[in-house]
Structure 1
């Protein structure tokens, strides 16, 4: 495979793109577009996936370029965030299933801190072992300090070092939470959450 695994799989991405561009997706019904994507576009990388682990970045790129993602993003999560998407009015059968599964994921999942821009400090689960952070605030001053912050985890990360601003974290949370937070590693490359 060599040094660049991503370059080795560029052909798969190009084949998927060419196959999807060759079809007139707007001529199909909602169900037809779903079948097209599942049957044709997802079959292309199957052989390679049976032998190699496809890079996560490539899977993400193929998904975002797909007709399925574009159609659902426009109709149901135009802000780009599937995790906060609503059911919407008159949802398709497929979207209703995705939305229900998404809710299960949100209930049992936890955010992985990247740049902190998508994670709300108190409303999202991002610290292992702590689901209700309002109970874990250090003292009355913490709530006042929280109001001064952006309310996103990004506001707890020092922009220069791309590491936790320990003064803010210690001022906001009790020592048990602080110990867990400083063990989390924000993504220093600026990757999103």
Structure 2
């Protein structure tokens, strides 16, 4: 019927905010990211930041967009040092990307690097002792680079 073809301005706005939120996650080091980090998440990262006591309108929008990003974001495993086993979405071939196996006491903060062997690949003994068999298969199917770059979001 004419017009610009926008169906839902709220969803369109959320998509644009999502793009800016993605920049905060992936493009660290630029001026805008430094300013937002200094004000809203000085000791952490954007994906774990809190809304805070007196957030700006922009920050509220970015936090709403973060919820959209979380549904599709995954971690690509490199060295495994920045990916938490039970909290981060890193497992391919699942809807949530998260490990659903029960967490053994004392392993809540386990990092993926602790599941890797010193040689190239996974520590089969450690992985099979912590996870259910079908999750173990899924984890062992992830290829690990011998160069061990940093983990990244995709």
User: What TM-score does the superposition give when structure 1 sets the normalisation length?
Assistant: 0.55
Find the aligned partners of 2:107 and 2:89 in 1 and give their Cα distance.
Answer: 21
SS at match of 1:69: helix
> Does the aligned pair in 1 maintain the 2:77–2:90 contact within 8 Å?
yes
| Runs of 5+ unmatched residues, structure 2 | 1-25
Deviations 1:120-161 (A, max 9, x none): 212222212164634x34xxxx725xx368611111112x21
Q: Which 10-residue stretch deviates more, 75-84 or 173-182?
A: 75-84
Find the aligned partners of 2:70 and 2:86 in 1 and give their Cα distance.
Answer: 15
How many aligned positions are there?
Answer: 125
1:15 alignment partner in structure 2 = none
2:99 aligned with 1:133: yes
> Does the aligned pair in 2 maintain the 1:149–1:155 contact within 8 Å?
no
1:185 alignment partner in structure 2 = 143
2:75 alignment partner in structure 1 = 111
Find the aligned partners of 1:119 and 1:130 in 2 and give their Cα distance.
Answer: 18
Larger fraction in helix: 1
Aligned 1:16-165 pairs, distance under 5 A: 63-128=27-92, 129=94, 131=96, 133-134=99-100, 136-137=101-102, 143=104, 147=106, 151-158=110-117, 160-165=118-123
Question: Of the two, which has the highest radius of gyration?
Answer: 1
| Runs of 5+ unmatched residues, structure 1 | 1-59
Find the aligned partners of 2:125 and 2:54 in 1 and give their Cα distance.
Answer: 48
Find the aligned partners of 1:161 and 1:150 in 2 and give their Cα distance.
Answer: 23
CA RMSD of aligned residues (A): 2.7
Deviations 1:141-193 (A, max 9, x none): x725xx368611111112x2142111101111122111111111234333222
